[in-house]
Amino acid sequence: MVPALVVGNYTDVERHYHDSSSPYSLPNDAIEHDRLDTQAAAIVEMLGGGSPFLAPIRSMASICKAVDVGCGTGIATVEMARLFPAATVYGLDLSRVPAAVVERAPENVTWATGNVLEVDEHLEPTDDGGVDAIFAPDSLDYVFSRLLILGLNNWPRYCKTAARALRSGGIIEIQDVDWPFHRVATSEQPSSKWEWHQQTVSAMDRVGMSTRAGSGAAALLEAAGLEIVSVQTFEFSWVPAPTAPRSRALGRYLQDKFVPQFPALLRKMLGREGIVGAELERLVKQALRDLSSEEGLYQIYTVTVARKP
């Protein structure tokens, strides 16, 4: 393998990526699958342990059709399918889920590959199992998505697509982070002074991504005609701290498995802005320093649940 960028102790080795037109900048290989599964477990712990889903779905009369949008390794899709064995549960992603997951998944899971933003609003629903069929109007009981901040470059469209596809009484749950970093127990945002962070904000703005994917969801879901059921926030800790005991596993995982991916992530995100070579290396060094700089450093993770009237 050819190292693409070497910064301090970090070597950015070649990775494998999706081949769609989406600006999503993270890989889809075995290293990424391991990262996503570790992250999924740490998030469940942050939410209080037990279930990845906070929506009141267990009390719904019946769930016949549900989708996990941007399902990654399908870890939440499989859990959803086990929770609702009589439902058809879709796992949709830009990339295929790992073959081992497909082999062992419950029979009520259907895997689909595609971009949720390419659901055609004007097409009649089809029954070919494609994204249009998943999002047929008034057909879904439950839509779940987690951590699409680096994938969706049109959040209003995602919310409208989901709202149109929910049946009356159907529920959407969006779990996502905001991009700014906060200092524990203060209102300070150290990331407002980080040059690499400002550059990623510009890069995200330019392609239509939201740096407020979590906190912005409620307004977009309301604008799409849904009623907000609940909004809960959590500290998505990048460095473990005693002040956020439930986010300690998350902080350990982020330091061990996600921070080392920042050279590759920034190369993709900032490369699109023409930032390359020594300038990129300088910003990557700053990012690696800042992301581990202080105990308790966190992003805000928001869980928004809404219902179609």
Binding residues (CB under 6 A) for ligand SAM: these are 18, 22, 24, 36, 40, 70-72, 75, 92-95, 115-117, 146-148, 151-152
Q: How far is the CB of 155 from ligand SAM (least distance, A)?
A: 10
Nearest to 12 by CA among 21, 20, 3: 3
CA distance 266 to 254: 16
Radius of gyration in angstroms for the set of CA atoms belonging to the chain, rounded to a whole number: 19
Q: Please say whether the beta carbons of 68 and 82 come within 8 A.
A: no
Q: How far is CA 189 from CA 4, 150, 183, 184, 192, in A?
A: 31, 20, 6, 10, 6
DSSP 173: E
**Please, what is the minimum distance in Å from the beta carbon of residue 76 to ligand SAM?**
6
CB nearer ligand SAM, residue 115 or residue 191: 115
Minimum CB–partner distance for residue 36 and ligand SAM (Å): 4
Q: How far is the CB of 16 from ligand SAM (least distance, A)?
A: 12
Q: Which CB atom, from 87 or from 152, has the smaller least distance to ligand SAM?
A: 152
Q: How far apart are the first and last CA of the chain?
A: 53
Instruction: Give whichever of 184 and 207 is closer to ligand SAM, judged by the CB atom.
Output: 207
Where do we find the tokens 């407020």? 212
DSSP of 7-74: ETTEEE-------SS----S--SHHHHHHHHHHHHHHHHHHTSS-S--SSGGGSS---EEEEET-TTS
**Closest approach of ligand SAM to the CB of residue 119, in Å:** 10
CB atoms within 10 A of CB 283: 22
Q: How far is the CB of 146 from ligand SAM (least distance, A)?
A: 4
* Cβ-contact 11, 3 below 8 angstroms: yes
Give the residue closest to ligand SAM by C-beta.
151
Minimum CB separation of residue 148 from ligand SAM in Å reads: 5
Per DSSP, 182 falls in state: B
Query: Which CB, 195 or 256, lies closer to ligand SAM?
Result: 256
- Closest approach of Cβ 9 to ligand SAM, in Å? 24
Closest by Cα among 231, 90, 77, 218 to 159: 218
Provide the token pair at 287: 């990012």
